[in-house]
Amino acid sequence: MAIPYPHFIATAKAAMDAGLHAPSSSAMLSQDDLKKIAAYKAVEYVESGMVLGLGTGSTARHAVDRIGQLLRQGKLKDIVGIPTSMKTHDQALSLGIPLSDLDAHPVVDLAIDGADEVDPFLNLVKGRGGSLLREKMVEGACKKFVVIVDDSKLVNFLGGSGLAMPVEVIRFCWKFTAARLQKLFEDAGCVAKLRTGEKEEPFVTDNGNYIVDLYFEGSIGDLKAASDAILQLAGVVEHGMFLDMATTVIIAGELGLTVKNK
């Protein structure tokens, strides 16, 4: 279902609530505007009394802000949020969103998050922000998983953007694990690189682990087989392929919003 911008902004509650006015053309909307509209659209799925998975990243941040706003306005009540990162945890606390965890709430009603890649079957790559493990734990426990992206994230196959496919690994002998990961996908032209942050120090996840980013020149083939092969390697904690998990994907693009349902 595609919704062109003029129609969307004139009629959809999400754009009005986002504080965006109907422009004469979509060119007046920035990429962040599109993310905000998509995020507000996703929050329309939220109902009072829900346990919510709170995603991490620039798009998910807008959704968390909106949930906090609706709670303050009394339009949402009895919400419990389960954050997928320390950054989201701190954001939600600052907004007054009650928080809990999967130990207390093993079933999550709805999760809203972004993605780094989306293939035609709504499989995802996530984790370029470094929160893949907690995201997968929370979003794997939810009844409905709404994903928000812009159309630059659409790919023909996972890894097709040429950007990172993250794998979280333990620190111990990470070079050994990285070499095994690269060898695993040598037919796809895989290059494995340790993710680094400031001062070229290794990036450390909220769980105290490292991330090895995999870069592919071609398709990795059967995704389930690739997933199983990665997870069978000792030293691997989790990977960034989210297979058959998204139930709805909201895509912001030049022609408007497209909502795809599983």
DSSP conformation letters of 189-226: T-EEEE-B-GGGPBP--TTS-EEEEEE-SS----HHHH
Residues 6+ apart with CB under 8 A from 60: 39, 54, 88, 112, 113, 114, 148
Of these residues, 117, 135, 168, 238, which one is catalytic?
135
**Residues 71 and 43: beta-carbon distance below 8 Å:** no
Q: Report helix, strand or coil for 83.
A: strand
Phi-psi region of 125 (alpha: psi -120 to 50; beta: other; left: phi over 0): beta
Helix (H, G, I), strand (E, B) or coil at 159: coil
Q: Is 198 a catalytic residue?
A: no
Name the residue type at position 45. Answer: Y
Q: Which residues are catalytic, by number?
A: 135
